[in-house]
Chains A and B, each alone.
Chain A
Amino acid sequence: MSEFAIQAKKVCKSYGTVPVLFDVDFEVKKGEIHALIGENGAGKSTLVKILAGYHQQTSGELLRNGRPVVYHSIGAAEADGVVMIHQEFNLCNDLTVEENIFLGKELVKRGLLDKAAMRQRSGEILGRLGTTINPRSRVKDLSVSEKQMVEIAKALAFNSEVLIMDEPTAVLTQGEIEVLFRIIRALRDHGVSIVYISHKLNEIKELADRVTVLRDGYRVATEKVSDLSEDDMARLMVGRELTTLFPPKGGPPKREVPVLEVRNISCPKYVHNASFQLYEGEVLGFAGLIGAGRTELMECVVGLRRRSAGTVIYRGQPLSARSYGDAIKQQIVYLSEDRKGKGLFTSMPLAPNVTILSLQDHLTRIGFLDSKKEDATLDRTLEEFDVRVPSKRALLSMLSGGNQQKIALGKMMQVDPDVVILDEPTRGIDVGTKQQVYYFVRELVKQGKSCILISSELPEIVGLSDRVIVMRSGVIMGELTGADINEEEIMLYATGVKGGMAG
């Protein structure tokens, strides 16, 4: 018997004529948590998709328990115990939890569904995961983290031996992450091998046994996690020194010119009586747990969501609450946290994505759309933001996450914004691109613009913000400046131990 649950040997993969993986060796031992890291476009997704039967390698071979295997389909890989859990969930929202768990593999007795058996099995598996989800509730009524648990339950229902998880914590809160880690460790102790893709190096340090680093389609290292520091991992991923992830801050906040004054905004169920000021030339961080109402508050500010009360004053003038279009005219822009669902048109080419906010600047003299001007704007954006694209005529969906985010930033900049509201601007992007985003934000505020940064990654809030507001359950709990901006202090407010002065 082999000590490895699954191995890739000298695996190459090309899409058409574009090679994306070069002679990659990758071995996962039985009962280990093996992290896979790399920048966007390094080939992580391609590699795990080959392991899970989504794609076939161009050359090289796969070994399962030491025996060569070929997976022609996802089903073949699953039948052999290799299951991938997606970043985006593969669940039918209108079906119940138990129906989802057994989807496509229903238990049958005398030609009819054996619902009792499936219900019992579902209950057992969910119990093993330590969740209290009711197997009969509909998936659409579950929270994001509960859906994730259902995905894992789905994989466990069939005695998977290799579990591939692609960014499982991207949408989870700290508490939920801890539960997930406990489950992952328990699975490992039962002999399951876990391939764990994440951009969060601190998680990998905490959770994984070994780590493989990919860069530009090559494997650059496989090491024990205990032998590497987070800095080492970042360096291996990027291939250069990441001297400082965050640019230096702009000194103590001046608080001279208030740009945006938000007074007593409420939005039923989400935001209660929130007030704050944004000053010229500052990065104002908004921290809080997921569901704290930060996104909803900002959507109320820019007119994307109806507010039940409150006013917004922008440079001394009231800002209309009616539509986002009014905010854009005043050069206030909002970057959505949901890049694919709300931020960009994935099925459209790049140019219309970049120019959609600023079509009035891309017209001919008689008022028709000017494709030459649009192309020029695209060229400028690609260069300014260092976007890597397969072709200028590519569809947006062909870009990696980090490059899509750069397009989203470029789109926003077309209206020459004065106030920039960024909602989770680095979600799901690699550390190199993150650094570029941070320097971009700092550069903006240096030019006298103002920025609101919503982030659930505390290091990001701490590293980038000049001032931090913490929200909890729709209420602003407190404001931190200077040395008070640290992770411990923020968590005290976010969890309700401290603060609540405004409430």
Chain B
Amino acid sequence: MNQVSAGGLAKVKALGSRFSWQDIGPIIAVIALMILGTAINPTFLSMGNLTNVFTRSAFTGIIAIGATFVIGTGSIDLSVGSMAAFNSGMMIIFMNYLVQHWGATWSTIIAAMVLSLVLGAVGGLVNGLVITRGKIESFIVTLGTMGIFRSLVTYLADGGTLSLNLPVRGLYRPVYYGTFLKIPIPLIIFFIVAVVGAVLMYKTRFGRYVLAIGSNYDVAHYSAINVNRIRVLTYILQGICVAIATIIYVPRLGSASGSTGYGWELEAIAAVIIGGTAMKGGTAKILGTVAGAIIFSIIGNILNLSDAISQYLNGAVQGLIIIGAVLVQRTSKE
């Protein structure tokens, strides 16, 4: 009965040619920002600065890849920043304990990495189970666990800071500061996580089911998809991404406190949204998410390098970018 709608036709064209401005929009934004950065201060393009910028984007970027799956199903996870802080704290306590038995060895560090992955997966599992079994909004549940994780790390640190044993810190340091073929290791890990994420999202049944659930929960249920299982899996995946981000974050400062990872959840969600993934689910742009994370990092860096705007206004600029990016996407759709 319904005829093809006018907006629909524009979409047909976009889909037919397999090329869409929406998909490459975030990439163009990255390039534009890089040109802007160079214009403001030529040192922007220096190898040292660029390496720094991209490496900084790795933490939120890796977390944002996981968030793309959660948001793809139409849910949200607000607990990731606190979970990262809690994981960091637990890793440090565990290494400080192990070092008494195993010394400052790689065994100590690898055991802590495994602990981080297990904690991340279990944390995600708990989030997912409470949301699906308890039939509670994901926003509420993860708002709750956000507070719980944050409070736990503060408790573990006794209100202060947990510091990693110095010899272990020295050994662990290259995981953040080291390079492989001149590429910083966090960047390599970010790249691997993004590629794995893209394959999972676009090339597996799991990814298809994620988008199906986000597209319409009921239709997914009536298409014999085990909706709860897939949703729990997205939270586990999110937890593992948080764990990976933690593993490369701990050697950066070698400490954890109640303010570690503060605001990461919002940065990760913002990276996903800027990248073109819709909050209501049903679409997911992994490449967009990567670009979104990098955009954030570049903006912070440009503000650092220029004197025009105080870097205390970093948050304001980020806020404007988020709103602006969604506005552009909205208008380009219409």
Chain B residue contacts of A334, Cβ below 8 A:
222
Chain B stretch 178-229: residues in CB contact (< 8 A) with chain A:
199, 202-205, 207-208, 211-212, 215-216, 218-219, 221-226
Chain A residue contacts of B215, Cβ below 8 A:
345, 347-348
Indicate if the CB atoms of A400 and B222 lie closer than 8 Å: no
Q: Which one of A89-97, A132-140, A244-252, A349-357 is at the B interface?
A: A349-357
Q: How many residues of chain A are within 8 Å of chain B by beta carbon?
A: 51
Q: In the assembly, what is the distance between CA of A352 and CA of B221, in Å?
A: 15
Is B3 among interface residues, defined by CB-CB distance under 8 A?
A: yes
Is B333 among interface residues, defined by CB-CB distance under 8 A?
A: no
Rounded to whole Å, the gap between the CB of B56 and the closest CB of chain A is 33
Q: Which one of A23-31, A36-44, A442-450 is at the B interface?
A: A36-44
Chain B residue contacts of A455, Cβ below 8 A:
none
Q: In the assembly, what is the distance between CA of A325 and CA of B225, in Å?
A: 7
Indicate if the CB atoms of A428 and B1 lie closer than 8 Å: yes
Indicate if the CB atoms of B212 and A394 lie closer than 8 Å: no
Q: In the assembly, what is the distance between CA of A356 and CA of B227, in Å?
A: 13
Given the interface pairs A345-B219, A391-B16, the reply to whether A16 lies near B6 with Cβ below 8 Å is: yes
Indicate if the CB atoms of A398 and B4 lie closer than 8 Å: yes
Chain A proximity mask over B1-24: 1 for CB below 8 Å, otherwise 0:
111111011111001101000000
Q: In the assembly, what is the distance between CA of A227 and CA of B69, in Å?
A: 60
Given the interface pairs A343-B219, A345-B216, A395-B11, the reply to whether A400 lies near B2 with Cβ below 8 Å is: yes
Q: In the assembly, what is the distance between CA of A482 and CA of B39, in Å?
A: 86
Q: In the assembly, what is the distance between CA of A397 and CA of B207, in Å?
A: 22
Is B282 among interface residues, defined by CB-CB distance under 8 A?
A: yes
Chain A residue contacts of B5, Cβ below 8 A:
15, 397-398
Is A369 among interface residues, defined by CB-CB distance under 8 A?
A: yes
Q: In the assembly, what is the distance between CA of A16 and CA of B218, in Å?
A: 33
**In chain A, what residue has the closest Cβ to B199?**
A368
The main secondary structure of chain B at its interface with chain A is helix
Q: In the assembly, what is the distance between CA of A352 and CA of B208, in Å?
A: 8
Q: In the assembly, what is the distance between CA of A390 and CA of B226, in Å?
A: 32
* Residue with the greatest number of chain A CB neighbours at <10 A, chosen from B199, B208, B219, B282: B219
Is A1 among interface residues, defined by CB-CB distance under 8 A?
A: no
Given the interface pairs A325-B226, A390-B9, the reply to whether A359 lies near B3 with Cβ below 8 Å is: no
Given the interface pairs A304-B221, A347-B282, A357-B223, the reply to whether A393 lies near B216 with Cβ below 8 Å is: no
Which of B4, B204, B218 makes the CB contact (< 8 A) with A368? B204
Rounded to whole Å, the gap between the CB of A370 and the closest CB of chain B is 9
Chain A residue contacts of B219, Cβ below 8 A:
341-345
Rounded to whole Å, the gap between the CB of B3 and the closest CB of chain A is 5
Q: In the assembly, what is the distance between CA of A394 and CA of B15, in Å?
A: 7
Q: In the assembly, what is the distance between CA of A325 and CA of B220, in Å?
A: 11
Rounded to whole Å, the gap between the CB of A425 and the closest CB of chain B is 15
Chain A residue contacts of B221, Cβ below 8 A:
304, 324, 342
Which of B1, B203, B212 makes the CB contact (< 8 A) with A40? B1
Chain B residue contacts of A368, Cβ below 8 A:
199, 203-204
Indicate if the CB atoms of A18 and B205 lie closer than 8 Å: no
**In chain B, what residue has the closest Cβ to A391?**
B12
Which of A338, A345, A402 makes the CB contact (< 8 A) with B212? A345
Is A20 among interface residues, defined by CB-CB distance under 8 A?
A: yes
Given the interface pairs A304-B221, A342-B222, the reply to whether A348 lies near B6 with Cβ below 8 Å is: no
Task: Identify the A interface with B (CB < 8 A).
Answer: 15-18, 20, 40-41, 43-46, 304, 323-325, 327-328, 334, 336, 338, 341-349, 352, 356-357, 359-360, 363, 367-369, 390-391, 393-395, 397-398, 400-402, 411, 428, 430
Query: Can you list 27 A-B pairs with a CB-CB distance of less than 8 A?
Result: A15-B5, A15-B8, A18-B9, A41-B1, A44-B1, A45-B3, A304-B222, A323-B224, A325-B226, A341-B218, A341-B219, A342-B219, A342-B222, A343-B219, A345-B212, A347-B215, A347-B282, A349-B15, A356-B223, A357-B224, A369-B205, A369-B208, A394-B4, A395-B11, A398-B8, A401-B1, A401-B2
A341-B219, A369-B204, A398-B8 provided; 19 other pairs, C-beta below 8 A? Answer: A15-B6, A16-B10, A18-B9, A40-B1, A45-B1, A45-B2, A325-B224, A328-B224, A346-B216, A347-B215, A349-B15, A352-B211, A356-B208, A356-B212, A368-B204, A369-B203, A390-B9, A393-B18, A402-B1
The 9 closest A-B pairs by CB, nearest first: A393-B15, A16-B9, A368-B203, A398-B8, A342-B222, A325-B224, A324-B224, A391-B12, A345-B215
